[in-house]
Amino acid sequence: MAIETGFTQNVVQRIKNEISKVVIHQEMFSDLALTAMFSGGHVLIEGVPGLAKTLWVKTLAAALDVTYKRTQFTSDLMPSDILGTKIFNRESSAFELKKGPLFTNLFLADEINRTPPKTQSALLEVMEERGITIDGETHALAEPFAVFATQNPIEFEGTYPLPEALTDRFMMKLVLTYPGLPAEKKILQMYDDGSIHATPAGDRLDERPAPDDRPDECLAACPAEDIVACKTEIAAVRVDDSIFNYIVSIVETTRRMNVIAAGASPRGSIALLLCAKTRAAVNGRDYVVPDDVKELAPSILRHRVVLQPEAEMDGVKPDMVIENILTQVKVPR
């Protein structure tokens, strides 16, 4: 079936309209997170408590009408708690699979840095291969599948830094900020009149959100077949050779700057390409322009560069370095 240019733009706008009924003043965050998801990627969300990180993911699940599961990551969480395990059934005299919460469409790893590396590493195969291996048997996950993980940037006691291999699996790292006075006032008014009192998309496994679990105004805006059609349109987006050169130049520069100890891997280049194609489709184009790459670079590269210790001590931030790189690399015309 031929997909007309603009189909993805329409679908994403419908989803954003539903999210904006519940989560106020996070339009840019929604743009970037949806770009990552429609590119087949996962998202690491950083922000202080109370900024609607969990609410955003729940509302997305409701708008997509897909299954959703949230797990609170704690110090005693074991890999089998999220993957699942085989349990012996006395009646059938056989081992049966008890699926973990990762058997879903959208999985929220809440406060992912509060669980030990052993459990964090259980996500490596799931995020890369979209499959779960239990007792030597691999189980494919249904599409769409995306992992959203949250972490608190100001609380370090009792936390475990994410290993580089896991951090690199996230297509984007997004930073949620305070909404601002007008938006916060609107949030208060909506809570006061009951507009956003309900909890969307209950935490049930293998179930779509029941109507009673949605916010009063949140509707399913995107059936599964629309997601498939969007991916078809995104795959057909054209990329000029100059864009390929621009992407690899940006990523290669991260590997030779003095303030950077380790630059982005080829996975970073691929993420930039995939997200740039998605951004083009979301903007109603069938071709990528340099601004698509430039706008996405900070979110895709900020967690893929490791700064030198002395640079961190001097207050240098990854975003500052990436912005500097973007001014150095020549933009194709």
Highest mean predicted confidence (pLDDT) among 45-49, 117-121, 169-173, 208-212: 169-173
Task: Quote the CA–CA distance of 143 and 66 in Å, as a whole number.
Answer: 10
In this structure, are residues 206 and 106 in contact, taking their beta carbons and an 8 Å threshold?
Answer: no
The answer on 281 and 197 residing in a single domain is: no
Whether 211 and 188 map to the same domain: the answer is: yes
Q: Are residues 179 and 321 in the same domain?
A: no
Give me the mean pLDDT over the 61-84 stretch: 92
Q: What is the pTM of this model?
A: 0.88
Q: Measured between alpha carbons, how far is 233 from 215 in angstroms, rounded to an integer?
A: 31
Domain-embedded: residue 1: no
Are 200 and 287 in a shared domain?
no
186 in the same domain as 284: no
Domain termination site, one of 190, 224, 258? 224
Please tell me whether residues 100 and 128 are part of one structural domain.
Answer: yes
| 137-149 pLDDT tens trace | 899 998 889 999 9
Q: What is the pLDDT of residues 182-192, one digit of tens each?
A: 888 888 888 78
CATH of the domain at 28: 3.40.50.300
Q: 249 and 193 share a domain?
A: no
The per-residue pLDDT of the chain, averaged, comes to 87
Domain count, the chain: 2
**Statement to judge: residues 103 and 196 lie in one domain:** yes
92-96, 118-122, 139-143, 227-231: range with lowest mean pLDDT: 92-96
**Pair (174, 313) in one structural domain:** no
**Does residue 208 carry a pLDDT above 70?**
no
Listed in order, strand segments (DSSP E) in the chain are 43-46, 68-72, 84-89, 94-99, 106-110, 131-134, 137-140, 146-151, 172-175, 260-262, 306-307
Domain CATH code at residue 283? 1.10.8.80
Task: Give the whole-angstrom CA distance, residue 84 versus residue 133.
Answer: 9
Residue type, 76: D
> Of 64-68, 175-179, 207-211, 232-236, which range is least confident?
207-211
In a domain, 229, yes or no: no
Is 79 found in the same domain as 212? yes
pLDDT tens for residues 211-256?
A: 444 454 567 778 878 888 999 999 999 999 999 999 999 999 999 9
For residue 177, the enclosing domain spans 7-224
Task: Evaluate whether residue 230 is within a structural domain.
Answer: no
> Where is pLDDT greater, at 210 or 3?
3
Please check the confidence at residue 203 and state whether its pLDDT lies above 60: no
Instruction: Give the pLDDT confidence score for residue 13 in this predicted structure.
Output: 93
- Domain end, chosen from 156, 191, 224, is at 224
Last residue of one domain, picked from the residues 158, 190, 224 = 224
* 156 and 261 part of one domain: no
Identify the pLDDT of residue 299. 97
Comparing CA positions, the residue from 273, 30, 269 lying closest to residue 168 is 269
**DSSP β-bridge partners for residue 287:** 238
Q: What are phi and psi of 243, to 5 degrees?
A: -70, -40
Which of the two residues, 202 and 318, has the higher pLDDT score? 318
- The rounded percent of the chain whose pLDDT value lies above 90 is 61
Q: Extract long-range pairs of 298-301: CB within 8 Å, 24+ residues apart.
A: 298/322, 298/323, 299/32, 299/36, 299/172, 299/173, 299/174, 300/171, 300/172, 300/268, 300/271, 300/272, 300/275, 301/250, 301/251, 301/254, 301/264, 301/268, 301/272
| Contact partners, residue 101, CB within 8 Å, separation at least 6 | 69, 70, 71, 82, 107, 205
Task: Determine the pLDDT at residue 212.
Answer: 41
pLDDT in tens, 267-277: 999 999 999 99
Q: 72 has which bridge partners?
A: 110
**Residue 232: inside a domain:** no
Which three-class secondary structure state does DSSP give residue 131? strand
* Same-domain pairing of 254 and 193: no
Q: Is residue 2 part of a domain?
A: no
Q: Is residue 333 included in any domain, yes or no?
A: no
Q: What is the 3-state secondary structure (H, E, C) of 208-233?
A: CCCHHHCCCCCCCCCCHHHHHHHHHH
272-314 pLDDT tens trace: 999 999 999 999 999 999 999 999 999 999 999 999 999 999 9
